[in-house]
């Protein structure tokens, strides 16, 4: 296999370090890199990945690039998982949700000396069930590799649980609280769930501590990609909707006539305001329609595309339903055969939710290069991963990313939050090169 020089460097990083991380931007070929690295890793290898990636991506990539590994997928029912785990194979694939079950079902019969955590940022929340299972498994493996294009989607504090999978806490501290107290300070020390902000110099200190086992690569340094243009399209809410939005924002309550919205906490309020800005709100009586401002803007984008493919990302189910009602020709990425039809250029409009369509999808093969964010997510990982479905290796056209934003709403804060998180992560990625 003739790898790109940067991919070969990444392979050698894995071979030189029994436990290490590869933080490679989307589109740089993380899966291909690891398929090559597996040649010289103790076998069998266990790959832990999001469900769709575990189900299809690894085997498809192996076939595509001519690797003759045998695969077994530990998915489905307990009986099916048991049979798959006992199979004779080079590479075993399991989805993240089943990892804790594997821990209990196969202790003490652990058989995997090498473990690859594909999208390691899924294990960033210290103390929860998922990272505990991952830590238990990593301690029993002689070789562990973390893969991610977005290792710190919410800030540097996301790194702790991931790095602990490699060193058991020797670099960043015995526990998450010690890590936070050493390198961060509380935004509000009087609140239990306050935001932690990095102390001056903490980025450099953390980078220095983990640099020996972490390798970072950014796509702009290695790929000759076309331009990526972010175009914010601002819409005004109708006067009545704006009045109701402002009342909800200030009073945490509004009566819409047909339904009431009562935000009992600040977290609920943020979610309700974001829904309101998009045009519909979940209420006790179901879904309440508010306005069509974003749908009208989407209509203009699709008309201007003049038959070109448009990929539409949504956050709320009611947004998808309204999009499909307005544009009956649209199909969701989960629909059978939709991805194949899209990549063949036979589908003009496709919708996807970032949480389900953000990993392992190549949607640029037909030349598609137009994306629309109907609802912006708070999650930087979801945002970056979804954009990377079109803006990746093989894309030959400038990628236009339209973001429909309602003026004077929480959409402004969400966009700013994504920018702030991106700045922190970019600094981290550059510091680990």
Strand spans (E) along 236-368: 253-255, 260-262, 280-283, 286-289, 310-313, 331-332, 349-352
On the question of pLDDT at 192 being above 70, the answer is no
Is 278 contained in some domain? yes
Residues 212 and 241 in one domain: no
CATH code, domain carrying 197: 3.40.50.10810
pLDDT of residue 195: 78
Is 107 contained in some domain? yes
Residues 118 and 232 in one domain: no
Domain carrying residue 234: 228-414
On the question of pLDDT at 47 being above 70, the answer is yes
pLDDT of residue 122: 87
Quote the percentage of the chain above a pLDDT of 70. Answer: 97
Residues 187 and 281 in one domain: no
Residues 6+ away with beta carbon under 8 Å from 64: none
Residues 215 and 303 in one domain: no
On the question of pLDDT at 375 being above 80, the answer is yes
CATH code, domain carrying 256: 3.40.50.300
Residues 238 and 212 in one domain: no
pLDDT of residue 336: 72
Q: Is 302 helix (H, G, I), strand (E, B) or coil?
A: helix
On the question of pLDDT at 425 being above 90, the answer is no
Residues 110 and 17 in one domain: yes
pLDDT of residue 225: 73
On the question of pLDDT at 55 being above 70, the answer is yes
Average pLDDT of the chain, as a whole number: 89
State the average pLDDT over residues 146-171. 91
Q: What pTM was estimated for this model as a whole?
A: 0.72
Short-list 425, 390, 364, CA closest to 149: 425
pLDDT tens-place string over residues 5-30: 999 999 999 999 999 999 998 778 89
Q: How confident is the model at residue 126 (pLDDT cuts 50, 70, 90)?
A: low
Residues 254 and 392 in one domain: yes
The number of distinct structural domains making up the chain is 2
Residues 6+ away with beta carbon under 8 Å from 266: none
Residues 64 and 25 in one domain: yes
Is 423 contained in some domain? no
Residues 345 and 233 in one domain: yes
Short-list 251, 236, 345, CA closest to 294: 236
pLDDT tens-place string over residues 320-358: 999 999 999 999 988 778 888 988 889 999 999 988 765
Strand spans (E) along 267-314: 280-283, 286-289, 310-313
Considering 220, 244, 276, which residue would you say is the last residue of a domain?
A: 220
DSSP state of 344: T
Residues 153 and 279 in one domain: no
pLDDT tens-place string over residues 236-279: 999 999 999 999 999 999 998 888 899 888 889 999 999 999 99
Is 419 contained in some domain? no
Residues 362 and 214 in one domain: no
Residues 66 and 113 in one domain: yes
On the question of pLDDT at 91 being above 60, the answer is yes
Q: How confident is the model at residue 366 (pLDDT cuts 50, 70, 90)?
A: confident
Is 420 contained in some domain? no
């Amino acid at each position: 296999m003739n790898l790109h020089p940067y991919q070969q460097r990444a392979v050698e990083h894995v071979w030189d370090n029994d436990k290490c991380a590869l933080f490679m931007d989307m589109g740089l070929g993380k899966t291909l890199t690891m398929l090559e690295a597996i040649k010289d890793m103790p076998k069998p290898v266990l790959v832990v990945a999001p469900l769709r990636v575990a189900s299809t991506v690894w085997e498809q990539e192996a076939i595509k690039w001519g690797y003759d590994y045998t695969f077994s997928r530990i998915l489905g029912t307990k009986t099916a998982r048991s049979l798959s785990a006992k199979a004779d194979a080079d590479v075993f694939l399991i989805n993240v949700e089943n990892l804790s079950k594997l821990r209990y079902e196969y202790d003490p019969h652990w058989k995997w000396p090498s473990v690859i955590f594909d999208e390691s940022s899924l294990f960033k929340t210290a103390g929860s069930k998922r990272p505990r299972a991952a830590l238990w498994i990593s301690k029993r493996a002689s070789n562990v590799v973390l893969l991610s294009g977005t290792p710190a989607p919410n800030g540097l504090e996301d790194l702790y649980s991931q790095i602990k999978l490699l060193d058991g806490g020797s670099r960043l501290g015995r526990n998450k609280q010690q890590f936070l107290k050493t390198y961060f300070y509380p935004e509000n020390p009087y609140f239990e769930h306050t935001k932690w902000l990095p102390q001056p110099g903490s980025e450099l200190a953390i980078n220095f501590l983990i640099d020996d086992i972490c390798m970072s690569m950014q796509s702009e340094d290695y790929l000759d990609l076309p331009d990526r243009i972010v175009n914010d399209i601002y819409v005004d809410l109708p006067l009545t909707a704006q009045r109701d939005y402002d009342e909800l924002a200030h009073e945490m309550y509004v009566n819409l006539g047909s339904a009431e919205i009562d935000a009992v906490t600040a977290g609920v309020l943020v979610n309700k305001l974001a829904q309101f800005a998009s045009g519909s709100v979940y209420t006790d009586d179901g879904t309440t329609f508010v306005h069509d401002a974003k749908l009208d803007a989407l209509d203009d984008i699709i008309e201007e595309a003049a038959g070109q493919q448009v990929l539409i990302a949504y956050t709320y189910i009611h947004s998808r339903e309204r999009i499909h009602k307005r544009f009956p020709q649209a199909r969701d990425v989960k629909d059978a055969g939709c991805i194949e039809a899209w990549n063949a250029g036979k589908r003009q409009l496709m919708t996807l939710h970032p949480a389900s369509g953000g990993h392992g999808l190549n949607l640029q093969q037909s030349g598609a290069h137009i994306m629309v964010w109907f609802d912006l997510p708070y999650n930087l990982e979801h945002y970056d991963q979804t954009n990377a479905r079109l803006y990746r290796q093989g894309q030959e056209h400038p990628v236009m990313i339209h973001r429909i934003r309602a003026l004077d709403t929480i959409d402004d804060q969400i966009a700013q939050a994504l920018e702030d998180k991106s700045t922190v992560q970019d600094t981290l990625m550059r510091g680990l090169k």
